[in-house]
Amino acid sequence: MKKILIYLIALICICFSIPIVFTKEFAQRTYSQNTVNSTIIDSDNAENAENEVQQSTYDYKTYNTIKLLHTETNEVEEVDLDTYLYGVVSAEMPASFEEEALKAQAVVARTYTIYKIVNNDGKHGEADICDDSACCQAWISEEDRKEKWNEDERENNWNKIVNAVNSTQGKIITYNGEPINAFFHSNSGGETETPVNVWGESDYPYLQTVATSGEDAYSQYSSEATFSKEEFEEKIKEIHSDFEIDFSNDDCIEIKEYTDGNRVKTIKIGNLELSGVEVRNIFGLRSANFKVTVEEKNIKFEVTGYGHGVGMSQTGADSLAKEGKTYEDIIHHYYTDVEIESM
């Protein structure tokens, strides 16, 4: 009887223990699963936060908005400064470029804009600046910019541009406390140029000739332009009606002098002596850094670089960024003895 009582008590204990064990195991599994889910959610939130576009909140005081002239419609639009810069950076530099290069472009574009406003000569009437790259700097709307990108890269590209502008909010380049005339161009061909050799202006001590490596890796680095001898003569005569040339002479085309930036300064063509800049304009060359070859029927130009060559080279900025340089490093490389300051 005693044994039966012991067995009965043991059975009752087992019955009470089973629910406790399973309840504890379920609780552990539930906690473990919730921990995993929480980790996944936190990870997703971190990723979303990383891709989230920062909002521009900087107070530019008198420069919070600018008046932009749309040259195609001749309309003037008032737009927030940094919102305007989204359109400038996305029009002027490929979104595929390094982030530090895009940041440098944002600071350069902001500086150029402020310089234009401060030194407004009334050329655009009531507007501060226009959207023509041949006159001021290029600009494109968000809608038009996205339309030109592949659909699967539109948002990432745009966010990259916006963050480049917003992460440098308020930053401009100064020399002696004043915003600089922050010229920039596509590809220097290895060396930038001084303004005096392009426009005859020399009052920019911060715009000196500097070298950049790695620019030959970009498509903008080299190009060719070929003209028949008849076309060659006609194009020069459109500007210089007294032009004459005898292609049978070995020295009918001869480069006389180069600039510090290795561009053609003066060149003798037939009975004329022209600047390299004028020859570039006459024949629509990408740069004044060129070589000329007289062939049997044609005149061939081999051109290095793209643009006037003054200030920051955009492909050079990208090349420097790939080497690990920051946007500040890039700016100090291209603009001599300047400061990067907050407005």
Give the model confidence (pLDDT) of 325-335 as tens digits.
Answer: 999 999 999 99
| Alpha-carbon dihedral sign for residues 166, 164, 187, 337 | positive
The full 3-state SS of 276-329, as one line of letters, equals HHHHHHHHCCCCCCEEEEECCCEEEEEEECECCCECEEHHHHHHHHHCCCCHHH
User: What are the residues whose beta carbons fall under 8 Å from the beta carbon of 262, sequence distance 6 or more?
Assistant: 189, 190, 191, 289
pLDDT bracket for residue 202 (50, 70, 90) = confident
Question: Do 233 and 227 meet the contact criterion of CB atoms below 8 Å apart?
Answer: no
User: Tens of pLDDT along 87-146?
Assistant: 999 999 999 999 999 999 999 999 999 999 999 888 899 999 999 999 999 999 999 999
| This prediction's pTM | 0.82
Answer yes or no: are the C-beta atoms of 186 and 315 closer than 8 Å. Answer: yes
d(CA 58, CA 44): 29
Q: What is the pLDDT of residues 27-55, one digit of tens each?
A: 344 333 443 343 333 434 434 334 445 55
